[in-house]
Chains A and B, each alone.
Chain A
Amino acid sequence: MTGRSTLKTVPLAMVPPATPATTPTIGAQWLYVSTGALLGIVFVKSEVLSWYRIQEMFRFQSAYMYLVIASAVAVAALSVQLLRWLGRRTSDGEILAIPAKEMTPRGARYWLGGTLFGLGWGLLGACPGPIFALIGAGVTSMSVALLSALAGTWLYGALQSRLPQ
């Protein structure tokens, strides 16, 4: 079986590989930290971590955030296509792809969980990435938001079997 012919059958998003995740090597560990640092810098320099920008977005008073999100999605989509087209694989031979999000019967978890997340996003003006970046940026009270988010995550874990999925 040639690489080219298997590629055609690979869907855009794939089910995660069955092979267990491995602990990153020291080199890869530094790359994850550096990539995160680049994202943190972008969050600050583009002001997308700002509560003001999120308010401006939800009030439809500037196209800025919409243009940021749209161009990010476009670049991500083109990159994933390019990687697929080049047939790039991990060292384990898995094709590089974003794992598929599993569709549930009525998609309940996506719209219910999504709405709760949106209510929090509107109020706090920050999603998890910006929470981390703001702590680094010296908005130390965001550590309270991080602890609250951990409490929310923990409660979800405790209630998971009782919530509609």
Chain B
Amino acid sequence: MNLLREPWPWYIAGPLIGLMVPLLLLIGGKPFGISSSLRHLCAATIPSGIPFFEYDWKREGGWNLLFALGIVIGGLIATSVLVPHGFAVAISPATQRDLRSLGLHDLSGLVPRELFGWPALASGRGWLTLGVGGFLVGFGSRWAGGCTSGHAISGLATLQVPSMIAVLAFFAGGLLMTHVIMPWLL
């Protein structure tokens, strides 16, 4: 198996994601979580006297912003060196069928061009996906005090009840969007 060109199987990807938790603890005692970086970015740019953003973001969140920067760099490295040109995610035939019936014709790339291409922003569904989807991710993760990394990985791994509630709610929201709202929205 050519690991550099082929997609990685779950038993390599999952454990590597899980290893983020001990790595960050060993480097500086930091808890694995990514959505806090959004709070630190707000505190750094638009504090506007709101108590939630009045703290020393460099001291509290400097590491988290560097970690987020690293993720951007990793995405860049992986797509420039490790992904063959014109690749498509090998999703199941059933998913392909469902997505086609939502009106998506081009299922190549990492994300569908009809929702995530810049021209799509002029359309209602492109704007909804990026604008409303992004807004809910930001608002919801801060309200819940964490996202998939902080609650689903760090929180579940330490058997925390708040994280179990949050992860169940993440899935409830995702299922509601996928099966009830999206067919009507897109």
**Do B178 and A72 touch (CB < 8 A)?**
no
A45 close to chain B: CB less than 8 A = yes
A76 close to chain B: CB less than 8 A = yes
Question: A114 touches which one: B13, B135, B140, B179 (CB < 8 A)?
Answer: B140
**Do B143 and A96 touch (CB < 8 A)?**
no
* Chain B residue at minimal CB-CB distance from A17: B29
CB-CB contacts below 8 Å: B153-167 with A: 153-163, 165-167
* Chain A interface main SS type: helix
Given contacts A69-B152, A75-B19, A101-B160, contact A123 B75 (CB under 8 A): no
* Chain B residue at minimal CB-CB distance from A147: B134
**Do A115 and B140 touch (CB < 8 A)?**
yes
In the bound assembly, the distance between CA atoms of A132 and B149 in angstroms comes to: 13
Question: B22 touches which one: A83, A116, A145 (CB < 8 A)?
Answer: A83
**Do B162 and A103 touch (CB < 8 A)?**
yes
Given contacts A58-B174, A79-B19, A111-B165, contact A47 B110 (CB under 8 A): yes
- How near does chain A come to B25, taking the closest CB pair, in angstroms? 4
In the bound assembly, the distance between CA atoms of A48 and B12 in angstroms comes to: 12
Question: B138 touches which one: A61, A109, A139, A148 (CB < 8 A)?
Answer: A148
* Chain B interface main SS type: helix
- How near does chain B come to A55, taking the closest CB pair, in angstroms? 6
Question: A75 touches which one: B15, B140, B171 (CB < 8 A)?
Answer: B15
Question: B13 touches which one: A23, A42, A57 (CB < 8 A)?
Answer: A42
Residues of chain A within 8 A (CB-CB) of B73 are: 33, 36-37, 40, 136
- How near does chain B come to A90, taking the closest CB pair, in angstroms? 4
Residues of chain A within 8 A (CB-CB) of B70 are: 32-40
**Do B168 and A44 touch (CB < 8 A)?**
no
Question: A142 touches which one: B53, B130, B144 (CB < 8 A)?
Answer: B130
Residues of chain A within 8 A (CB-CB) of B152 are: 69, 73
* Chain B residue at minimal CB-CB distance from A109: B143
Highest count of chain A CB atoms <10 Å: which of B25, B74, B152: B74
A24 close to chain B: CB less than 8 A = yes
**Do A117 and B59 touch (CB < 8 A)?**
no
**Do A88 and B26 touch (CB < 8 A)?**
yes
A87 close to chain B: CB less than 8 A = no
**Do B17 and A120 touch (CB < 8 A)?**
no
Given contacts A44-B79, A131-B134, 7 further A-B contacts (CB under 8 A): A56-B95, A75-B17, A88-B26, A114-B140, A115-B170, A141-B130, A147-B134
